[in-house]
A and B are shown apart, each in its own frame.
Chain A
Amino acid sequence: MRSRYLLFALTFLFWGAAPLTAQTRTLRGTVVDTATGMPIQAANVGVRGTSIGTTTGPDGSFSLGIPAGTTTLLVRRFGYRFRTIVVQPGETEIRVALASDPLQLDEVVVTGQATAVERRNLPNAVATVNAEDVARVSAQSFEHALQGKIPGAVIQTNSGAPGGGVQVRMRGVSSINAQSEPLYVVDGVLVSNVAIPSNQNAVTNAAGGSNPALTQDAQVNRVADLNPSDIETVEVLKGASASAIYGSRASNGVVLITTKRGRSGAANVRMTQRFGFYQLSNTLGARKFNTLAEAQSVWGAGAATYFQPGVTYDHEKELAGHTPLSSETLMDVGGGTDATRYYLSGAWKDDGGIIKNSGFERQSLRANLYQRLGQRLNLEVGNNIIRTEASRGLTNNDNAGVSFYMVFPFTPSFVNLGKNPDGTFRAHPFQASNPLQTAELMKNDEIVWRYLGSGRLTYDAFHNATQNLRFVASGGADYFAQKNDLLFPPELEFEGDDGQLGTSLLSNSDNLNINSGVNGIHTLTPASGRFTATTSFGASYSQRELNVARIISRNLVGGLELVNAGTVVGVRETRQRVEDVSMFAQEEVLLMNDRMLLIAGVNADKSSVNSDDEKLYVYPKVAGSYRIEDLASGIDALKLRIAYGESGNQPLYGQKFTPLIATQNITGLPGLIVDGLVGSTDLAPERQREIEGGVDLTLLDDRGTLELTVFRKDVSELLLQRTLAPSSGFATEIFNGGKLRTTGVEVGLQAVPISRPDLQWVLRSTYFSNKSTIKELTVPTFRVGGFGTSLGAFEIAEGKSATQIVGNDSLADGSTVVRQIGDANPDFVMSFSTDVTWKRFRLNGLLDWQKGSDVINLTKFLYDLGANTADYADPITVGGVATTKGAQRLTVFGKQTAVYVEDASFVKLREVSLGYEVPPRIMSRMWGGVESAHLTLSGRNLFTSTKYTGLDPEVSNFGNQNIARNIDVAPFPPSRSFWFGVEIVF
């Protein structure tokens, strides 16, 4: 069926094509900077409405075959204002001067699946992040590099573990039970962002407790594989009003990533070498025991063996105080001719972890090719092979006393957990588990091989002075194989707990995403020039398939890692496949001298995960913007914009079925048993309706911009989980119902306070806040995530915030009630960035400020239970009675959960970078042929200011979640990183 589809697509592509315009002429030209007159290299010069184009060489010159008649050229270069040049018939040589554009006013931004407009006409608040901002400071995954750069998106790590695990949540809550992840599109390929647990749960038994979620393995969501230095631009469609054209997978927003391309000209080689290290940035500390009596009051008489007055050990630093050398090597080459262009890149990143045996590596090779296959046809191909390897220690919740920070709460500071003189580790006297030993001897490796391939065939079916028609057939594949290789050798202290010494866990997962489609784009500009109408339409097919096979092997003979060396072996496999078909049509009209833009579009799609897989769900959108120039003195332009759109969020694979469980047996006898899930026969995607409006101002001679956006999104037909009476034998039914509303405001401010040839200062600030409320719930109040009300839980209740945290609280009469005690949603988030260029120096800084947002700090609860919190013994007086802080918290535990719910407001210095461009004369003396060289000192997350008493206010024990983030249970400790880098271009 798939191949048939492609065949149809290709047939369709060439069918009905108009004859080619044969007459062309050659136009030569130069592009220069208006201020300095210096040539601008790598500027794009293209014929409007076609794919005909080229880029300028190092001397700013270009040569291009253009139609014989009057032709409109577009000249653009990132960092400059773009220009439209009308070339008269017979003209053969032009000179184009571009003005500098530090505020990126003329950036081109997507409006649909196949079209784009200049930012100044854009009817939506689409955030863009360019290559320089993504790659400025080394980041483990590209999401880290987006933190603080997208107004409206809360981007937070789930823990400090190397290798990723970051949630991008756009515009608050969009769903309760469906997908929580945005749709990631890399060069047109719908890439996978699944997070596959490592299966460390087989050792931690985290899911064996009161929350059976299998997502407590500190898993990595797989966009972390992408190599940030390959990225040219990231465009973020935040809500349905912008993303409607992506239909039922767009509800959480769409992140469009475009990778770098080659430019015609001589080979341009760029090499970057960075060295640095990661360093533990926060510890919890532990209680200091002053006397033996105090120690024995907590640890029993046995404490006498270990207690020595004044001798303490900092177990956290012993565990996570490592700073191994980290490095990053990047190299790319781009070049080619007008007909053939290439971009090749290689990257090797090796991040040492702060905990022994932890760390992250990425190797990536990319080849992007462009080939003109004739006057009207061109082909672009992208190939990327990536290998990542993350070693992530053993953190997060457990029920076996093995996770590092699950043991520390029950480890007094006077106990030495270090090695004996003979090299073996000391046994933990109070817990059969020594985290230092575990870290040194265990293995938790996640190795991913990934291939991303994209192809794009563009065919200029027709063009003349007023119309042109282009077809684009595109498609791609994203395949990865993930291997999770975990070993807990027999000599680990905790290994005897189940009577089976040694555990080896092997999981092999493979994921394949394929998508293909055909778009047509027709542009009409009547001779009068009164308007430009762009019609786009298309259809696509996508499929995603994920298979996970796991082996759990215990009681390892000879301590061998092979899973068949165990005497007790368990296997498990799950499979899923989803197929979608989608089609869209969109009309964009730019009129009134490019002052007004109107867009209307519609997407319709169907999917195998809906109960009715034949039914088309339709998602319309309309948007408009109007631009007024020179409104008043100081206001260069004012744009009013409004957009409305709908999008969906599909049910998850399996939700439509009522299964029997067929994977269990009793001493080998197969048995079918009832599962708790009842499938609904009319499951449909959730529907989001978003309206967004805004005002954009360009101020003070292009020296400042202000973007103000308000939005309201209403999500209805939520995929809700109805809790069934347990006496029915079932637990839950998934169905469509209920409504939630998220409203918010986003502000972006940019200014260039100083702009002189030798000193330029650019300031940017963003502010956003949003609030999600459950407007209608057709089921009783229910809880998502958490460990019950005594430990704090998220509760979905009509009329309440979608992210409210409830817990037990005491009334004046002494009785206990369950009520709201916090909210995970921040009050607001602000960021400030500064970019100062002075002569050859450049200083960048990015500050990220989150106000509000509560975290359930269960790590602290565990320390309290161990009577081991740093402040446990600090005296306080409650109601005239002297007690200690920790004892008091435990006294009210179960009655006042709020003692463990903390404000997680923070200010983080996300990025700092100081660059120096080595003068060419020095470079040429040292190394001839080098075009430029930069030296950079940089750092990430250097400084955090917060009142939160846990390790890091960015935390999620359960990984990426629609609602139930912000639960802190023994996370991987956070780190900061420092880098020194050299970049050479030749």
Chain B
Amino acid sequence: MHRPLSTRTLSRLIAGAALVLCACGDLTVPDFNNPSIEDLQAGASPTTIRQAAQGMLIGTRAQMGAQNGYVSLLGILGRESYNFDPADTRFFTEMLVGPLDGGSPAFGANLFAQRYRNIRLGNTILAAIGPVAGLTAAEKEAVRGFVKTIQAHDLLMVINTRDDLGAPIDVDVAPTGPPAPIATKAEVFARIVTLLNDAQTHLQAGGASFPFSLGPGFAGFSTPTTFIPFNRALRARVDVYMGNFGTALTTLGTSFIDPAASLDLGVYHVFGSGSGDTENALFDPNFRAILAHPALETDAQLKPDGTRDNRVLRKVTIAVPAPPTVQGVTTTVGFSIYNSPTAPIPIIRNEELILLRAEANIGLNTPPSLAAAQTDINLIRANSGGLAPIALTGQAQALDELLYNKRYSLMFEGGHRWIDARRYNRLGLLPLAVPSHTVPSRFPFPEAECLVRTPAPPGC
């Protein structure tokens, strides 16, 4: 017999359906791939702080050894290097011909964003470290000193690429809120100095050791006490860049400058081939992309025996097997300076400090200071270049000689030639392979930085 479906039965069925749904508990699925940033905020553990501090080393290394990174791009601008990668001709069209395009993320915007990412990490650590249980007060001071030093170095690399545009400095703001205002170049340098000085104070209270590892790049600089000379070395570079030559000499005295020590004594970005590590992509054994500017060979001075400056012989390969020609640009010279995928890149080393001292002395331009500069320059000429000593006869000639030595001593280590040429208004003297090429004095702001600002500031 057919029984009609009752309303009661129907309602029981609907109730059943509802029950089925209630049976499906909560749907919480965690992030399987990453820890949360909350782990590095209130209530951070000492381990998290340690690993984040070590993360500062990864962050400050980011982009340094990339083929479109700081060393490579600044090398192209300063006519030290080329990148012949056929896949991306912006190494020619933007970097050599110009203009630089703020909308090209891999051609300058990266040099900005990566630095600020590390500064953010530092600010996050500084904000979190106060109440962390399990670290002593001295250890916390050591972390603060380390973090601020690295932040200062990152900020220095920012202003090196943006120069007279200035750069944001009060960047510890909510990421989705209004952006930090753009400070002038002088304000940025002042902030770098403040950070370095604060860091020094923290480090002085930082006890005997850091509560984390600094790795092989900081060998000899790995306790708060031995880290301070590195901090001072950075400060000396900033002093010279600011033209405060007297202060620079004082600061250098507290750095690790040592004419008797190895010129390579210093602090380095280190690379590794292990899983999760980064390799130095400036190592290009087949000379596929990264090549040297031919003027590095032709401008080199001769040693007494008639052969070229040892620095050239040491750092470049004169005759590469298949010299490329692209858009009227050719070279037969390649780099051998980075000779393995794990070759380190200097952050700052003794050879630069000696030259910075010479530069400060030349800047002071007194007979005793020029004499001191001559001693330092001849030391570098002899020990690094194998060249005969020279006599400095006046400030202009001394400066030429200094810049020659900075060019060859610090070749392809971090844009020194471009930065120095800009500082001494010599960008126009850099050799151009094709007359239509240009040498920009700075990178524009990244497009993303411009889009959040109304009206768009200069450099956008």
Contact = CB atoms under 8 A, between A and B. Distances in A.
A5 B23 contact: yes
A725 B179 contact: yes
Given A8-B19, A400-B87, A790-B93, A568 B176 contact: no
Contacts of A781: 451
Contact of B85 (A5, A401, A818): A401
Nearest to A299: B325
A888 to B, nearest CB: 15
A574 B275 CA distance: 15
B31 interface: yes
Interface stretch (A11-19, A84-92, A119-127, A145-153): A11-19
Contacts of A790: 90, 93-94, 101, 103-104
B109 interface: yes
Interface stretch (B35-43, B227-235, B372-380, B396-404): B35-43
Interface string B391-419: 00000000000000000000000000000
B21 A539 contact: yes
Nearest to B112: A726
A662 B35 contact: yes
B220 interface: no
Contacts of B120: 674, 728-730
Contact of B28 (A211, A500, A613): A613
Contact of A659 (B12, B36, B54, B85): B36
Interface stretch (A428-436, A587-595, A742-750): A428-436
B305 interface: no
Given A574-B33, A673-B121, A727 B116 contact: yes
Contact of B274 (A299, A431, A665): A665
A93 interface: no
Contact of A658 (B37, B274, B322, B327): B37
A731 B87 contact: no
B36 A12 contact: no
Contacts of A429: 322
B27 A606 contact: yes
B90 A725 contact: no
A534 B179 CA distance: 57
A862 interface: yes
Interface in A663-695: 663-676, 678
B449 A725 contact: yes
A669 B116 CA distance: 22
B368 interface: no
Contacts of B14: 537
B107 A210 contact: yes
A612 to B, nearest CB: 10
Given A431-B86, A788-B104, A669 B273 contact: no
B261 interface: no
Contact of A660 (B39, B54, B288): B39
Contacts of A662: 34-35, 51
A781 B3 CA distance: 65
A664 B58 contact: yes
Interface in A713-732: 722-731
B338 to A, nearest CB: 10
Contacts of A83: none
Contacts of A309: none
Contacts of B68: 208-210
Interface in B326-366: 326-327, 330, 340-341
Given A614-B26, A673-B121, A497 B20 contact: no
Contacts of B167: 727
Interface in A282-310: 299-300, 302
B121 A520 contact: no
Question: Top 6 closest A-B pairs, CB basis?
Answer: A729-B120, A659-B34, A464-B2, A671-B55, A210-B106, A726-B113
20 contacts: A4-B23, A463-B2, A539-B20, A653-B29, A658-B37, A658-B38, A660-B40, A662-B51, A663-B34, A666-B278, A671-B55, A672-B39, A674-B121, A728-B179, A730-B175, A731-B448, A789-B101, A790-B90, A790-B93, A894-B97
Interface of B: 2-5, 9-10, 12-14, 16-17, 19-21, 23-29, 31-40, 48, 51-52, 54-59, 61, 66-68, 85-90, 93-94, 97, 101, 103-107, 109, 112-113, 116-121, 123-124, 167-168, 171, 173-176, 179-180, 213, 215-217, 270-279, 283-286, 288, 322-327, 330, 340-341, 446, 448-449, 451-453
Given A724-B448, A727-B180, A865-B89, 5 more contacts: A12-B19, A673-B59, A678-B176, A725-B453, A790-B94
